[in-house]
Structure 1
């Protein structure tokens, strides 16, 4: 049986990489990934052989990884964050269906919403929805529908890929849809480069979100109707009754 890892490497340094992810990369003869991800991993694993492809070459990348794995190499296909959340695990598993002699091992990682939430405090303590505003593979109308329904359901909402040069207005429109169900004072946390050396984080409000300087390196976490801020931290109550600082 040939072995192929789908690895989520977290934010790009060993401090935010799971032991299982590090072990899988160390076990691999070849590490395959998106160009930017390979650049992040090469200094951490200089002894490894790497292969990279640019954006929108994901299927070609995975096909090559499968070909190399079936030639006898142990291959790790890397994704930032978690391999099963906007990563390569799904593509690899779909393509691997054609091969009975190939085992795809999915290795979890720390996705950007978890890394960002830890920086902001505890905004994900209750039910939340994760939505990408990129319409490269999902119709924009469906993205907006998901945003509106998540807002109606009072979920905390994590927005990936919130703004790019070609999608300058999508975040503002998403905020408008959420404002139909939520107060303008709702706390919103923004983290850029979560978990990396250049990390920057700040808290704003839903009403002011459209004015914020946000790009593809940011994660936007919009609180639910119960979320509040205290001492610079964003907190979504889980529902425990707390009296006098103790759980009642």
Structure 2
């Protein structure tokens, strides 16, 4: 049995009971080293196989090999395993190759939900997720998605917004959105959402400070109805009050 587990954004209080049960049932834990540290209290003395960044295929291969040998494995991802996690890659490998492994996807809370709750209720109407990492997706495709989402007036949640290798991607994303987003459009920023060192702040589209953002940050850009009141970012659903 292979459990592909979304452990939530990081804090144990945001991990689902199903995720906890899967980790406890597993004989071996496999994951990116940062994520294995987040579940350390649940793992005890079980074997833990850690891999670094950009080792996703190797990580899935190891998890499948161990599961096929007859052991119960938990392959962990932060947030939800099916949102920029390992679920898709595992299922691609299982369906395209000969693996005799039972796979169960265990959902978890993704970072945008944790960030949205910290900010107020910015995701009450239609929204989308866009990752600014161009390691696996061509930047030209990402640009097209940014323009389309902004023109359609989605609330936009940006994952992987800025790193040392792509310091200008978020700034460029704002330039692409500028024809469709008013200067006073609220923007909510949450760093390390759901974790012990969580920090947050509210700004506007025109006043966005890109230098404060890093890979652990979630940036939520509102739509034309989003507003800030009493320190809360709110996107109305359309109810008549």
Normalising by structure 1, we get a TM-score of 0.94
The answer for the alignment partner of 1:195 in structure 2 is 194
Does structure 1 residue 171 correspond to structure 2 residue 135? no
Question: For 1:147-226, what aligned pairs fall within 5 Å after superposition?
Answer: 147-226=146-225
1:109 is displaced (CA, Å) by: 0.2
Cα distance in structure 1, aligned partners of 2:155 and 2:210: 20
Question: For 1:51-62, what aligned pairs fall within 5 Å after superposition?
Answer: 51-62=49-60
The answer for the alignment partner of 2:141 in structure 1 is 142
Q: Which runs of 5+ in 1 are unaligned?
A: 243-248
Cα distance in structure 2, aligned partners of 1:44 and 1:202: 32
RMSD over aligned Cα atoms: 1.1
Contact 1:8–1:81 (8 Å) recurs in 2: yes
Cα distance in structure 2, aligned partners of 1:81 and 1:16: 9
Cα distance in structure 2, aligned partners of 1:211 and 1:89: 31
Normalising by structure 2, we get a TM-score of 0.97
Select between 208-217 and 66-75 the one with higher mean Cα deviation: 208-217
Q: Which runs of 5+ in 2 are unaligned?
A: none
1:212 is displaced (CA, Å) by: 4.6
1:177 is displaced (CA, Å) by: 1.2
Look up the SS of the partner of 2:149 in the other structure: helix
Look up the SS of the partner of 2:208 in the other structure: helix
Contact 1:171–1:210 (8 Å) recurs in 2: no
Aligned pairs, number: 240
The answer for the alignment partner of 1:246 in structure 2 is none
The answer for the alignment partner of 2:15 in structure 1 is 17
Contact 1:191–1:200 (8 Å) recurs in 2: yes
The answer for the alignment partner of 1:32 in structure 2 is 30
1:210 is displaced (CA, Å) by: 4.5
Look up the SS of the partner of 1:166 in the other structure: coil
Contact 1:13–1:44 (8 Å) recurs in 2: no
